[in-house]
């Protein structure tokens, strides 16, 4: 993953990071969807582990999680998704999950099986840094990155503590609230990236709210990576019962967003 993010930076652009939940709308279609997102232009993938109480996620991803859970998705299916997508595409694949499923499964067991599946790491939005040592040791032992989230409300000292504990990249939430597409990405995002970069050499990638090429280009002007989730999930929800068309729509959206992050930076724009 570090190499993929560094390659994007060397090319003078931000990376495009796409999110899609495992098991949605079915296990097989979820795998096909994630592959299509890479084919369309995503550099890195986040595979969501569906959860019944997704505190960070808005109604779009909650709906997809409910469909996946009702369809019988379990951790084994999430790991299969990671394995098949990583093998087929060569893209770095992370799991985005809340802590409770990992804790119940066993941190060491989950880290070992994720690494064996070819996973690149985990994003753990609700795991406090102060309580993360056990997971971080298991992740490090198996060569996995641990990505933490910073928010506009995070004070500088808190950001420094989070970035010191994390690895891979830092997930910067562009605004306060849950995931979902927005008309505006949030005016605080650029300032949050600036404050975060003052504490770490890790790439800083921005998520929450990006849904189109123009927003992707805007965020790419100041961040190392642009994270898009709800917009992809919405495309598939909009094609309920026509999932083959939905997969094609995901590939098309990935291409549009990839074109956005690859736009030349405006004169005087800060380097990613």
Q: Where are the domains of the chain?
A: 1-262
25-29 mean pLDDT: 97
Give all strands (DSSP E) within the chain, no chain letters: 15-21, 44-48, 93-96, 121-123, 145-147, 149-150, 170-173, 204-207, 225-228
How much is the average pLDDT of 191-215? 94
Take residue 156 and report the two structure tokens written for it. 């500088």
Cross-strand bridge partners of residue 121: 94, 145
C-beta of residue 111 within 8 angstroms of C-beta of residue 139: yes
pLDDT tens track for 63-82: 999 999 999 999 999 999 99
The residues annotated with a catalytic role in the active site are 46, 57
Evaluate whether 261 touches 220 at the Cβ level (below 8 Å). Answer: yes
Please give the CATH topology (third level) of the domain spanning 1-262: TIM Barrel (3.20.20)
- Local structure of residue 90 (DSSP, 8 states): -
Q: Tell me if the bond preceding 216 is cis, omega within 30° of 0.
A: no
Instruction: For residue 188, name the pLDDT band (cuts at 50, 70, 90).
Output: confident
Please report which confidence band the pLDDT of residue 152 belongs to, taking 50, 70 and 90 as the band edges.
Answer: very high
Identify the pLDDT of residue 176. 44
Q: Per residue in 33-64, pLDDT tens? A: 999 999 999 999 999 999 988 777 789 999 99
């Amino acid at each position: 993953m570090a190499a993929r993010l560094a390659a994007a930076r060397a090319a003078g652009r931000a990376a495009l990071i796409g999110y899609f939940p495992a098991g949605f709308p079915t296990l097989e279609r979820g795998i096909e969807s994630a592959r299509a997102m890479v084919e369309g232009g995503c550099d890195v993938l986040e595979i969501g582990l569906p959860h019944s109480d997704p505190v960070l996620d808005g109604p779009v991803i909650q709906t997809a999680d409910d469909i996946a859970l009702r369809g019988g998705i379990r951790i084994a299916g999430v790991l299969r998704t990671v394995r098949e997508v990583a093998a087929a595409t060569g893209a770095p694949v992370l799991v985005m999950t809340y802590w409770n499923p990992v804790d119940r499964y066993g941190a060491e067991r989950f880290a070992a099986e994720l690494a064996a599946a070819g996973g690149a790491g985990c994003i753990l939005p609700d795991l406090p840094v102060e309580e993360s040592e056990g997971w971080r040791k298991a992740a490090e032992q198996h060569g996995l990155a641990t990505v933490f989230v910073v928010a506009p409300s995070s004070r500088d000292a808190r950001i420094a503590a989070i970035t010191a504990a994390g690895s891979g990249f830092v997930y910067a939430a562009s605004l306060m609230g849950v995931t979902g597409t927005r008309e505006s990405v949030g005016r605080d995002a650029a300032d949050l990236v600036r404050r975060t970069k003052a504490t770490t050499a890790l790439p800083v990638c921005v998520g929450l709210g990006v849904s189109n090429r123009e927003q992707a280009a805007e965020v790419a002007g100041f961040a190392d990576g642009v994270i898009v989730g709800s917009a992809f999930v919405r495309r598939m929800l909009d094609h309920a019962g026509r999932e083959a068309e939905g997969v094609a729509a995901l590939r098309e959206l990935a291409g549009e967003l990839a074109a956005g992050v690859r736009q030349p930076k405006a004169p005087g724009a800060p380097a990613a």
